[in-house]
Chain A
């Protein structure tokens, strides 16, 4: 019984404390393993939401960073990369970007530059990383230095979606960076958006307080 009573405030607490929401996008050529990486990171949580009209797959992930709840929306392409370009809404309000290439196919590495240029048109400041995937297929490639990341000041991760090498580390690092960016945006528009979001939250809190005090009057036209 005591447990039952105890669990109610818990539920309420959870509802109000969904935490920060960040959006992380994946970029890269067809068949470099973007979805396989998502699947490896999310494991049992892997329940993609296919939006085939938009050639888009969304994944929802909940985690804690420090003692903060964070909700991550991962955006993955579902064939849209075929057009060598993504719809602007893909980039809209993204807080971090994961760019993937296949160490077995040079063309996917060379195409990183096109993806990067497009990313920076829409999101000049968000944290971004380069992911060298499929190193299980050719371990020698993990002993190679790739200049692209260095040139643009982006961290490089050698990963394998198949055996799991560095997948979780890469995702966790990027979630932290996305959160950090959201809280300290370096882009003017983002700063404004963050201010608006805080403003919204304050307003909501005021409303709910008013609610508790029974001050809220119901407007008849909504009944």
Chain B
């Protein structure tokens, strides 16, 4: 018997993680509501996500849901407990290329970095990969270079 997670979300009242999954034997779509227990606005979301991921009653259902997604859902629940709107929470995960990240507090900066890390991990070459080269040098050549549009406004220093 196995389960194929389709979508995962939250419900604010009572605070719960909602999972839509397909039962692979019956091919039926089911909904599972997992109330988040002993969770407050001060809770550690990363720990809560880890606990849920390994929870004996839920782990089989959550097998295909990543821990980082569960952490994100817990953050949204915690934001709600702290009085933040859903829009605020979702925006805090969005990367906006024009935003000055120097101006963010630790918590929001960590969320942005978390988003960036997804791409990093996708492109990351691990040292155990057979084609890993520690001292990888690539010469991009100067001939084919175009000017970068970032230099167009002629500010001082550029």
A contact residues vs B (CB 8 Å cutoff) = 29-31, 36, 43, 79, 81-82, 84, 104-107, 109-111, 113, 116-117, 136-137, 141-148, 151-152, 158, 160-169
Contacts and interface: CB of A to CB of B under 8 A. Distances in A.
Contacts of B119: 137, 162
Contacts of B151: 146-148
Contacts of B87: none
Given A143-B146, A145-B145, A145-B147, A163 B136 contact: yes
B120 A161 contact: yes
Given A31-B116, A104-B97, A110-B155, A165 B148 contact: no
Given A110-B158, A117-B157, A158-B138, 20 more contacts: A30-B109, A31-B113, A106-B98, A111-B102, A116-B157, A137-B123, A141-B148, A145-B145, A146-B148, A147-B151, A147-B158, A148-B157, A151-B158, A158-B140, A162-B123, A163-B125, A164-B132, A166-B136, A168-B136, A169-B137
Given A116-B157, A137-B119, A145-B145, A164 B134 contact: yes
Given A137-B119, A151-B158, A169-B137, A164 B125 contact: yes
B113 A136 contact: no
Given A43-B134, A164-B136, A31 B125 contact: no
A145 B156 CA distance: 17
Nearest to B100: A107
A110 B150 contact: yes
- The A interface, classified by DSSP as helix, strand, loop or mixed, is helix
- The B interface, classified by DSSP as helix, strand, loop or mixed, is loop
B102 A30 contact: yes
Contacts of A161: 120
B104 interface: yes
B158 A113 contact: yes
B157 A151 contact: yes
B145 A143 contact: yes
B145 to A, nearest CB: 4
Interface in B90-112: 97-104, 106, 109, 112
A121 to B, nearest CB: 14
Contacts of B158: 110, 113, 147-148, 151
Nearest to B104: A30
Contacts of B133: 164
B27 interface: no
Contacts of B123: 136-137, 160, 162-163
Contact of B137 (A36, A163, A166): A166
A30 B105 CA distance: 11
A112 B58 CA distance: 49
Contact of A162 (B124, B134, B148): B124
B135 interface: yes
A145 B146 contact: yes
14 contacts: A31-B112, A105-B97, A109-B150, A113-B157, A141-B148, A142-B138, A143-B144, A162-B119, A163-B125, A164-B132, A165-B136, A166-B138, A168-B135, A169-B135
